[in-house]
Amino acid sequence: MSLAEKILRGDIRAASRLMRDIDDRMPSAMEELKKIYSKTGNAYIIGITGPPGSGKSTLVDKTVEILRKERKTVGIVAVDPTSPFTGGAILGDRIRMQRHSIDDGVFIRSLATRGSLGGISRSTSDIIKVMDAMGKDIIIVETVGVGQDEVDIVNTAHTSVVVLVPGSGDDIQAIKAGILEIGDIFVINKCERQGADRLEMELKATLEMGPKREDGWMPLIFKTEALLGKGIFELVYGIYRHREKLLACDYLEKKIFERTKWEFLCILDSELRDTIVERLEKDKRLDKIIDDLKRRKANPYSIVEKILEGELKGSS
C-alpha cells in the first residue's frame, strides 16, 4: 500500500513518514498529498499565536486536556525556531506537551520555520492535511513567537487565538496593526501578573474603536493562568462560540474559500518559481542574467517579463 492508503487506514507511522517527507520537500510527498486531498476538509483548525514567552505551549497543553475529556481527537502542529546547527526544530513545544505523547487520540508534530516569515512553516498547510486525513477532529497550530506583521496564521486557521502577557513594557504596542486585526479571540495569559487589568481595558477600548468585522463577530477576551489551568475551560467554549457564529452566518464557507484560494496561490507561486529557476540553471542562463543585472546592462523587470512571456507561450 502507498503511504496515503496506510494513513487513511490509521497508520501513525505512515503519517509521520509523510510529514517528514513534506518538511524535507521530497518530490514523492506531493504524489501522496494528491491521493489524500479528497479526504481532507473535515477538521476544525485553531491557530494559537502571540509574542515569545506568552505561554502559548502551556495554553495548548491545557486546552488539549479539556478537548480530550470531551473525546475530541486532536492534532498539534507546533512551529518552533530553527536550530542554527541542524536546521531542525528546537523542540521546546513538544517537551511541554510530553504528557500527551502517549495518548493515541493526540498527534504532535514539531516543525522548524526554516527561514519562513509569518510565524508558521512553509510545510504547515500540508502537515495539516495529513492530520485531517488521519481523522483528527481538531487541529491546533501553534506559531513561533510572532511580531506585528507575522500574521499568516489567519490564512490557515478557522479561529485565530492571540495570546498576550501583561508587564511586557508598552502592552498595547505588542498588539497593534496586523496582530490586532487577525484575532478572533484574545487571551491575557499569566493574568495574575500586575498590569493584566490595564491590558484588558486597553484591549477592549482598542477593539471597540476598530472597524466592524464582516462576520459581525466581536472578539472575546479571556484572562488565563495556564500553569494553574485557570480560565482554560472558558477559553475552549469561547472557541466553540466563534465556530457557532461562523456557521450561523455562513461565514465559515467564505473563510474556507479564502483559505483554499490562499493555499492554491502559494503552491502555484512556489512551483512556478522553482520550475523557472531550475530551467534557468539548467540552460546556464541564471548566472548570465545576474551578471547583466550587476553590470546594469539590463533591468530585472524587463527580464522577468520576458521569462514569463516565454513560459506562458511554451505552456500554451
Report CA torsion sign: 91, 96, 100, 102: positive
Q: What is the pLDDT of residues 106-148, one digit of tens each?
A: 999 988 765 444 445 678 899 999 999 999 999 999 987 655 4
Q: How far apart are CA 53 and CA 30, in angstroms?
A: 35
Distances (CA, A) of 83 to 109, 114, 313: 16, 9, 43
Domain segments of the chain: what residues?
A: 1-39, 42-249, 261-315
Q: C-alpha cell of 16?
A: 509521520
Q: CATH number of 42-249: 3.40.50.300, 1.10.1760.20, 3.30.720.210, 1.10.260.40?
A: 3.40.50.300
Q: Are 59 and 155 in contact (CB under 8 A)?
A: no
Element (H, E) at 20: helix 12-23
pLDDT at 150: 53
Q: How far apart are CA 300 and CA 290, in angstroms?
A: 9
Per-residue pLDDT at 259 exceeds 50: yes
Q: What is the pLDDT of residues 178-236, one digit of tens each?
A: 667 788 999 999 998 888 998 899 889 888 887 888 888 999 999 999 999 999 999 99
**Most distant pair of Cα atoms in the chain: their distance:** 66
